[in-house]
Amino acid sequence: MTEDAPKDYTEISFVCLREDGCPELPATVETACRTAAGKVSELEGFHFHILRHSHASLLISKLKAQPNLVADRLGHEKIQTTLSAYSHLYPNESGNLAEQLNGFMEESDDEEGENDNAGKA
C-alpha cells in the first residue's frame, strides 16, 4: 500500500491509513463504523474503539501477554493504565504460586535431609 508513497515517507503506527499512507481521520473511521452498524443489526452500538479493547483482551486471555507488552502495544505511558482496565483478565495465580513455593521448600528440605544422611554413613 505504501509503494506509491513519497521517498521521504516515514512508517507510522496507525491502524487506519489511506492508500497514500496518510492516517485516516478519526471522524471518517467513526462514520464508517456508524454506517456499518446501521446496516447490520449485530453491530448495533459498535464503535471503532471496541476493536482496541478486543485486541487487548485477546492478547491477554488467549496469548497470555504480559501487562508491560500490552501497555506498549496500546501506547499506554503507564502500566497502571493497562492494569486498571484489564487486570480482571489476568488469572489469579496466588494459589498456584503458593503451591509451587511449598513444593520448592519441600524439595529443599528433602535435599538437606539427604545431605545430612550422607555425612553420617
pLDDT score for 16: 83
pLDDT score for 110: 75
Range of the domain at 87: 49-120
Q: Examine the domain organization and report whether 98 and 55 are in the same domain.
A: yes
As for how many domains the chain has, the answer is: 2
**What would the grid cell of residue 40 be?**
447490520
Q: How confident is the model at residue 80 (pLDDT cuts 50, 70, 90)?
A: very high
Q: Examine the domain organization and report whether 5 and 16 are in the same domain.
A: yes
Residue 63: C-alpha distances to residues 74, 91, 93 (Å): 15, 13, 16
pTM score of the predicted model = 0.58
Q: Examine the domain organization and report whether 92 and 109 are in the same domain.
A: yes
Of 7, 50, 75, 26, nearest to 18 by C-alpha is 26
Q: Examine the domain organization and report whether 60 and 15 are in the same domain.
A: no
Q: Examine the domain organization and report whether 64 and 111 are in the same domain.
A: yes
Q: Examine the domain organization and report whether 99 and 60 are in the same domain.
A: yes
Q: Examine the domain organization and report whether 115 and 58 are in the same domain.
A: yes
pLDDT at 72 over 80: yes
- The larger pLDDT score, comparing residue 80 to residue 98, is at 80
Q: Examine the domain organization and report whether 114 and 97 are in the same domain.
A: yes
Q: By percentage, how much of the chain surpasses pLDDT 90?
A: 36
Q: How confident is the model at residue 12 (pLDDT cuts 50, 70, 90)?
A: low
Q: Examine the domain organization and report whether 59 and 28 are in the same domain.
A: no
Q: Residue 62: which H helix or E strand, with range?
A: none
Q: Examine the domain organization and report whether 84 and 34 are in the same domain.
A: no
